[in-house]
Structure 1
Amino acid sequence: MPSMWLSDMQKIGVAFCSGGMFFLTGGVIMFFDRAMLAMGNILFLLGLTLIIGPQKTLYFFMRQQKLKGTAAFLFGILLILLRWPFVGFCVELYGILILFGDFFATAAGFVRNVPVIGPYLAFALNRLSGATGGRRNAELPV
């Protein structure tokens, strides 16, 4: 199977991000298990750094329009570590929606081609991202 365009480091990053999503989902299923949520956050951040690189990761989280999302995301992680997993996860989820909301419209374009449920999922992703027709922040590099 061809490796497409991913380097070996990016493949490891995808594996870490997938593991992070697995642990975050498991932490929610296990009634907001603090250890699983913390491990999921660590793996997700490590995987994102390996996929796009440390400088681009820092640039992504420190952009002016993303500072509120970054603060909410980091504060949510802190709350999880301080034994407030449900509140921390809710705050962290808000930060994730602000940080990665622009990508939902892109994902909706791919999901739209899935038979039967594709248009419904695309509609939900577009509503979640707030996209009404065009891309928000289309000039952004990441």
Structure 2
Amino acid sequence: MISVSEWQKIGIGTMGFGIFFILFGILLYFDSVLLAFGNHKLKGTSFFLGGVIIVLLRWPLLGMALETYGFINLFRGFFPVAFGFLGSSIPFLGSLFQRLQGTSSMV
């Protein structure tokens, strides 16, 4: 029998989770409904992945700034839906969002 240390058990478990989620993600990728929600926003994707690369090249502040800009560009259309759902589900946030919406004007 092979002796396995505690750290190796943690590593095997983490690797198992990773393999499961990769295979599950591949299966979900081919779902037609999820493909309709697919990401075709080149600007946001390039900024986000460029930020990841810059973080890996040891420029964390610049990389995180680029990732944040890319994230905002990618999910810009989803934010109103999420805020609307949170505002209707949680009473305190609903009144806060209505107050914030009333103060801004698009003139």
Shorter-chain TM-score range: 0.5 to 0.7
Matched to 2:94, the amino acid is G
Q: Aligned pair 1:117/2:74, yes or no?
A: no
How far did residue 111 of structure 1 move? 1.2
Residue by residue, what CA displacement relative to the aligned partner does 1:90-112 show, whole Å, maximum 9, x if unpaired? 10010000101111111111111
**121 and 50 in structure 1: CA distance in 2 versus 1, 3 angstrom threshold:** farther
Q: Aligned pair 1:90/2:62, yes or no?
A: no
The alignment yields a C-alpha RMSD, in angstroms, of: 3.4
Q: Which runs of 5+ in 2 are unaligned?
A: 1-17
- Given that 1:111 and 1:119 are in contact with CA atoms closer than 8 Å, whether structure 2 keeps it comes out as no
How far did residue 123 of structure 1 move? 6.8
- Provide the C-alpha distance between the structure 1 equivalents of 2:71 and 2:83, rounded to a whole number of angstroms: 17
- Given that 1:108 and 1:122 are in contact with CA atoms closer than 8 Å, whether structure 2 keeps it comes out as no
Which residue in 1 is equivalent to 2:38?
60
Provide the aligned length of Structure 1 versus Structure 2.
77
Superposition TM-score, scaled by structure 2 size:
0.56
**112 and 68 in structure 1: CA distance in 2 versus 1, 3 angstrom threshold:** same
Q: Which has the larger radius of gyration?
A: 2
Matched to 1:118, the amino acid is G
Choose which of 76, 101, 119 in structure 1 pairs with 2:51.
76
Superposition TM-score, scaled by structure 1 size:
0.43
